[in-house]
């Protein structure tokens, strides 16, 4: 009897072991999928699209100033890209800003246009900006935006009339641009606005200290070639630009 029953028992044991192994593997796989699904992309900024138009603001942030953030009264540079996947050029003609405090208040701030270092690679518009373009990729040169401020020689690698901008919270450089400006984003093109680019925008005279966990609320105002006006940022939810993380790891505090 025992000799005849060993075969079925061995087969049954293998079947159970196989089922347990399959169950454990499926559980591990499910755990890995759930874990990787929660990974956030490395780009820190916010993205938004104009309602009904192929115009996009991408990776918009407030420049990082240091572990303590910006003090009251300081100026805070902004960095972002504007992509225009439409068939006609559009103009960025203004930005309305507000400092979002920790208790939820939105304090109005002035946003001005400044000359940048003009050292960034030309911006290129991918085929599908809605899928999340990768800014800062070198490609053929695209037209630089124009403003009512001082003109710069084409291809210049340095700021024309102002010193190289800094995100230092201890100094608030005087604006060289005007509060009203016109920056053209060509059809199927893009423009980078940052301190390293030809031009950038800056929030001036912060009404309160701006910590690294706070944000600046922005509404971008555009004019199309047909004269129609449209905005990005005054929809719900509002467009809150976070402070960018440091570009490199901060030094560890010294042991006392």
Cα 69 to Cα 246: distance, rounded to the nearest angstrom: 11
> What's the rounded Cα separation, in Å, for the pair 243 and 63?
6
Domain boundaries defined on the chain: 46-242
Residues in the chain: 256
pLDDT per residue, tens digit, the chain (256 aa), is 445 455 554 445 545 455 544 444 444 444 443 343 333 445 679 999 999 999 999 999 999 999 999 999 999 999 999 999 999 999 999 999 999 998 989 999 999 999 999 898 888 765 555 544 444 433 322 333 333 333 333 333 333 333 333 343 433 333 334 467 889 999 999 999 999 999 999 999 999 999 999 999 999 999 999 999 999 999 888 999 999 999 766 556 555 5
Q: Do 75 and 170 form a contact (C-beta atoms < 8 A)? A: no
- Domain 46-242: assigned CATH number: 2.60.40.1890
**Is the bond preceding residue 237 a cis peptide, omega within 30 degrees?**
yes
Question: Which DSSP symbol is given to 103?
Answer: T
Cα 237 → chain centroid: 16
């Amino acid at each position: 009897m025992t000799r005849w029953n060993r075969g079925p028992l061995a087969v049954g044991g293998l079947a159970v072991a196989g089922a347990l192994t399959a169950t454990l593997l499926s559980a591990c796989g499910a755990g890995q999928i759930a874990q990787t699904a929660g990974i956030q992309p490395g780009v820190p900024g916010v993205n938004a699209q104009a309602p009904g138009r192929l115009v996009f603001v991408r990776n918009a942030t407030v420049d990082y100033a240091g572990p303590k953030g910006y003090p009251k009264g300081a100026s805070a540079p902004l960095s972002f890209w504007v992509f225009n996947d439409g068939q006609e050029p559009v103009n960025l003609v203004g930005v309305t800003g507000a400092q979002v405090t920790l208790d939820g208040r939105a304090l109005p701030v002035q946003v001005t246009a400044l000359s940048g270092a003009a050292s960034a690679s030309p911006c290129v518009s991918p085929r599908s900006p809605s899928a999340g373009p990768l800014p800062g990729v070198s490609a053929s040169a695209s037209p630089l935006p124009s403003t009512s401020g001082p003109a710069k020689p084409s291809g210049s690698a340095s700021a024309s009339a102002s010193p190289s901008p800094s995100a230092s919270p201890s100094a608030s450089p005087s604006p060289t641009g005007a509060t009203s400006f016109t920056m053209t984003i060509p059809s199927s093109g893009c423009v980078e606005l940052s301190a390293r680019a030809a031009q950038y925008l800056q929030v001036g005279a912060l009404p309160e200290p701006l910590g690294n966990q706070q944000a600046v609320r922005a509404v971008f105002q555009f004019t199309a070639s047909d004269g129609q006006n449209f905005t990005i940022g005054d929809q719900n939810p509002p467009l809150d630009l976070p402070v960018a993380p440091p570009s490199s790891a901060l030094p560890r505090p010294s042991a006392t």
